[in-house]
């Protein structure tokens, strides 16, 4: 793979999940892959459980197949398009019970906060990621969130009480790899209403600010509290809640509490039944996905030269706000383009600003809200002649 190719950073949230959409919406089928955050440095293994020597580092985002698989009894996510498997515990984490009141640390001699709290108490549960770290004081700590440094001393925690990775029915794909086909495990029901029960010691409830860019804490509720919910949402807003809490996983979404505009995180509750899942980004934004290596253009139909670089095929999604024809002088014709909004810096030594760039519609796949061309090929040519 050439190093000078660029990858666009996904705008549609950093840790997406497989979704089930109502057929009456601008429907998209269950996604085969999802973007997830690696929360603990992870070695990539092959399908036989042998190390490949490749490492994925903490807070790196990776596209994996949505359904976890089992290798030698442990759950792994397969990296899309590669014979590489990452331990699910390095991504989704596991729940552990706190056995002694504990502070949260960012180093061996410095404390920090977690979910706006400086101390956690015996009997509570917390998600930890991967194996423990040995600090300079020779004590071991588990990571509990990120990307800020937030750790808890290992001796204040019990062994694992719950695995966060969601498993589905199994089909054998090799002698020692079992596919958990989650997309077949959950069938949409006709009613978008169910009861959820809080499955953690202290769980936050959120609302959102006016432009839906920031979750706002409403209150905390205790273990076994029950709520009737009438809407399940995934995508950008759910990811913002996950980021606020510092907890990510395979069933990452938010439930709306019926009769309110308050939301509760799906990983903090157990639902009586599955309800339809609505992907916020596809219903509120128009997005594109690059399906092949391609170039970025100006509004004058000229390629933008980034020292010979161009955008490579990738599985992330990029926000666009309009569709229009642009006359291309070098080709003596008009072609249909999407107008991009946002930036990408991943995989490059300096940040490149693609905001106000254009990409050929034929080079990408359109997702989400459908756009209608703002002009015609003839109007694009006429506009060029006037300049």
Q: Tell me: pLDDT of 33 over 90.
A: no
Separation of alpha carbons 42 and 345, rounded Å: 23
Q: Which residue in 94, 95, 86 sits closest to 34, CA to CA?
A: 86
pLDDT band, very low/low/confident/very high, at 306 (cuts 50, 70, 90): low
Quote the pLDDT of residue 351: 41
Average pLDDT over residues 362-378: 87
Q: Which residue has the higher pLDDT, 343 or 25?
A: 343
The token pair at 253 is 């979404």
Of the residues 118, 141, 163, which one is the last residue of a structural domain? 163
Lowest-confidence segment of 44-53, 159-168, 185-194, 209-218 by average pLDDT: 185-194
Is residue 221 a part of any domain in this protein?
A: no
Q: Which of the listed residues 134, 163, 192 is the one where a domain comes to its end?
A: 163
> In sequence order, what are the residues at sequence separation of 6 or more whose Cβ sits closer than 8 angstroms to the Cβ of residue 328?
297, 301, 334, 335
**Cβ pair 47, 84 in contact under 8 A:** no
pLDDT digits (tens, 9 = 90+) for 236-278: 899 889 888 877 765 689 999 988 889 999 988 999 988 888 8
Percent of the chain with pLDDT over 90: 28
pLDDT at 103: 93
| Structural domain count of the chain | 2
Q: Which domain holds residue 372?
A: 285-386
Nearest-5° Cα angle at 344, 341 to 349: 150
Residue 72: pLDDT over 70: yes
Residue 141 CB-density burial (10 A; 0-12 exposed, 13-18 middle, 19+ buried) = buried
pLDDT of residue 216: 93
Question: What is the residue-averaged pLDDT of the chain?
Answer: 77
pLDDT of residue 311: 64
- Is 307 among the domain residues? yes
Measure the CA–CA gap between 42 and 183, rounded to whole angstroms.
25
Task: Record the tokens describing residue 66, joined without a space.
Answer: 């949505």
Three state DSSP letters for the chain: CCCCCECCCCCCCCCCCCCCCCCCCCCCCCCCEEEEECCCCEEEECCCCCEEEEEECCCCEEEEECCCEEECCEEEEEECCCCCEEEHHHCCCEEEEECCCEEEEEECCEEECECCECEECCCCEEEEEEEEEECCCCCEEEECCCCCCCEEEHHHEEEEEEECCCCCCEEECCCCEEEECHHHHCCCCCCCCEEEEECCCEEEEEEECCCCCCEEEEEEEECCCEEEEEEEEECHHHHHHHHHHCCCCCCCCEEEECCCCCEEEHHHEEECCCCCEEEHHHHHCEEEEECCCECCECCCCCECCECCECECCCCCCEEEEEEEEEEECCCCEEEEEEEECCCECCCCCCCECCCCCEEEHHHEEEEECCCCCCCCHHHHHHHHHHC
Provide the pLDDT for residue 167: 64
Q: Where is pLDDT greater, at 313 or 144?
A: 144
List the single range of 226-240, 335-349, 356-370 with lowest mean pLDDT.
335-349
Give pLDDT tens digits for 284-297. 888 888 888 788 88
Chain centroid to CA 56: 16
Q: Quick count: other Cβ atoms within 10 Å of Cβ 118?
A: 10
Quick check: 335 pLDDT over 60?
yes
- 318: confidence class by pLDDT, cuts 50, 70, 90: confident
The two structure tokens encoding residue 84: 């590489």
Residue 4 placed within a domain: no
Confidence of residue 28 (pLDDT cuts 50, 70, 90): very low
State yes or no: pLDDT of 74 exceeds 60: yes
From 34-43, 55-64, 199-208, 301-310, the region with the lowest mean pLDDT: 301-310
Task: Give, in degrees to the nearest 5, the angle at Cα 291 between 45 and 34.
Answer: 45
Residue 77 has pLDDT above 50, yes or no: yes
pTM confidence score: 0.49
φ, ψ of residue 158 to 5 degrees: the values are -80, 170
| Distance separating alpha carbons of residues 215 and 235, to the nearest angstrom | 13
| Last residue of one domain, picked from the residues 142, 163, 184 | 163
Is the pLDDT reported for residue 39 higher than 80?
A: yes
Q: Is 157 part of a structural domain of the chain?
A: yes
Tell me what percent of the residues of the chain surpass a pLDDT of 70.
Answer: 77
Residue-wise pLDDT for 109-165, tens only, equals 899 988 778 899 998 888 999 999 989 898 999 998 877 789 999 999 988 888 888
Tell me the sheet residues that pair with 254: 233, 265
What's the rounded Cα separation, in Å, for the pair 37 and 62?
A: 6
Return the CATH number at 112.
2.30.30
Work out whether the CA dihedral 363, 342, 250, 80 comes out positive or negative: positive
Residue with the larger pLDDT of the pair 279 and 333:
333
pLDDT of amino acid 180: 31
Q: CB-hemisphere CA count at 13 Å for 152?
A: 31
On whether residue 311 sits in a domain, the answer given is yes
- Residue 195 forms part of a structural domain: no
Task: Give a yes or no: residue 335 inside a domain.
Answer: yes
How far lies 134's CA from each of 4, 98, 141, 146, 204, in Å?
Answer: 37, 19, 6, 18, 31
Residue 73 within any structural domain of the chain: no
């Amino acid at each position: 793979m050439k190093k000078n190719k660029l990858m666009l950073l996904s705008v549609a949230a950093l840790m997406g999940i497989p979704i089930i959409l109502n057929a009456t919406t601008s429907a998209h089928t269950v996604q085969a892959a999802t973007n997830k955050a690696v929360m603990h440095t992870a070695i990539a293994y092959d399908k036989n459980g042998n190390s490949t020597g490749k490492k994925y580092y903490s807070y790196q985002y990776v596209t994996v197949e949505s359904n976890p698989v089992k290798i030698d009894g442990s759950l792994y996510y397969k990296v899309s398009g590669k014979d590489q498997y990452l331990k699910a515990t390095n991504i989704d984490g596991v729940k552990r019970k706190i056995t002694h009141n504990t502070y949260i640390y960012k180093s061996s001699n410095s404390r920090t906060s977690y979910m706006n709290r400086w101390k956690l108490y015996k009997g509570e549960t917390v998600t930890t990621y991967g194996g423990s770290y040995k600090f300079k004081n020779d004590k071991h700590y588990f990571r509990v969130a990120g990307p800020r440094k937030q750790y808890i001393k290992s001796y204040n925690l019990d062994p694992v009480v719950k695995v966060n990775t969601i498993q589905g029915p199994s089909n054998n794909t090799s002698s020692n790899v079992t596919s958990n086909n989650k997309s077949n495990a959950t069938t949409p029901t006709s009613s978008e209403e169910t009861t959820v029960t809080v499955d953690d010691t202290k769980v936050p409830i959120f609302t959102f600010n006016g432009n839906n860019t920031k979750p706002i804490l409403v209150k905390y509720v205790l273990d076994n509290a029950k709520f009737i919910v009438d809407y399940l949402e995934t995508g950008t807003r759910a990811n913002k809640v996950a980021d606020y809490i510092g907890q990510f996983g395979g069933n990452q979404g938010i439930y709306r509490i019926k009769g309110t505009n308050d939301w509760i995180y799906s990983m903090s509750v157990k639902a009586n039944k599955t309800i339809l899942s609505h992907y916020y980004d596809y219903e509120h934004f128009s997005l594109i996905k690059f399906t092949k290596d391609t170039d970025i253009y100006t509004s004058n139909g000229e390629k933008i030269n980034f020292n010979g670089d161009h955008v490579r095929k990738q599985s992330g999604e990029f926000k666009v706000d309009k569709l229009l024809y642009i006359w291309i002088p070098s080709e003596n014709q008009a072609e249909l383009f999407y107008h991009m909004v946002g930036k990408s810096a991943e995989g490059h030594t300096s940040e490149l600003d693609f905001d106000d760039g254009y990409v050929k519609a034929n080079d990408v796949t359109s997702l989400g809200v459908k756009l209608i061309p703002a002009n015609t090929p003839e109007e694009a040519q006429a506009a060029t002649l006037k300049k």
